[in-house]
């Protein structure tokens, strides 16, 4: 029963938490698409009550570094090209596509992807705060539902602070022109 409740809660979180504005990109897709998972092994008693198999199905976006050593298959090359387009659309009103380049001539590892995605999200949240007239309400001043207020900066971030965001997977799509696009599955 406990597993069923946890599964239902995770499914609801996934459905509510993930918003994609990439419908326009589906026309560009070729036949190649795959998924890269980000799973972290844990021995923490609190997490083991929820994740009985000891595997957390995501990694922190704000600061993945403390979890990197426990990231399953962190050094596996998961993208054999050295560049890709990262699509960041959650929780952004104005999505952004960012070219990322691997430091490894063999391609991207899970570890490098987690670090590059974290760096881009941290940059975006910083630029949003700098460019917004409506600033983020501090957590201790929020009433009722404590979600982040929408700000009116460059990206229009809404709903979640960066601390709330975790990366569970990437949908890797090879476009008709050969370009690789990475759509993030972000939990909140």
DSSP code per residue over 42-95 = ---HHHHHH-TTSEES-EESS--HHHHTTBTTTTSEEE-SSEEEEEE-TTBSS-
Q: If you search the block for the tokens 């979600």, which residue do you land on? A: 147
* pTM for this prediction: 0.83
Spell out the per-residue pLDDT of the chain, length 188, in tens.
344 334 444 444 444 444 444 444 444 545 578 999 999 999 999 999 999 999 999 999 999 999 999 999 999 999 999 999 999 999 999 999 999 999 999 999 999 999 999 999 999 999 999 999 999 988 888 888 889 999 999 999 999 999 999 999 999 999 999 999 999 999 99
Side-chain half-sphere of 41: how many Cα atoms within 13 Å?
6
């Amino acid at each position: 029963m406990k597993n069923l409740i946890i599964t239902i809660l995770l499914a609801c979180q996934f459905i509510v938490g993930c918003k994609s504005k990439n419908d326009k990109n589906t026309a560009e897709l070729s036949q190649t698409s795959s998924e890269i998972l980000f799973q972290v092994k844990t021995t923490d008693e609190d997490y083991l009550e929820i994740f009985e198999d000891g595997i957390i199905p995501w990694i922190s976006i704000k600061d993945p570094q403390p979890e990197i050593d426990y990231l399953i298959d962190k050094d596996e090359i998961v993208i054999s090209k050295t560049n890709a387009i990262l699509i960041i659309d959650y929780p952004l009103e104005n999505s952004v596509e960012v070219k990322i380049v691997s430091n490894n001539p063999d391609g991207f590892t899970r570890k490098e992807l987690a670090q590059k995605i974290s760096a881009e999200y941290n940059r975006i949240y910083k630029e949003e705060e700098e460019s917004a007239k409506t600033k983020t309400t501090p957590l201790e001043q929020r009433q009722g539902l404590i979600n982040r207020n929408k700000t009116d900066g460059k990206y229009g971030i809404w709903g979640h602070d960066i601390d709330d965001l975790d990366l569970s997977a990437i949908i890797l799509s090879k476009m008709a022109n050969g370009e690789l696009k990475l759509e993030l599955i972000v939990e909140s």
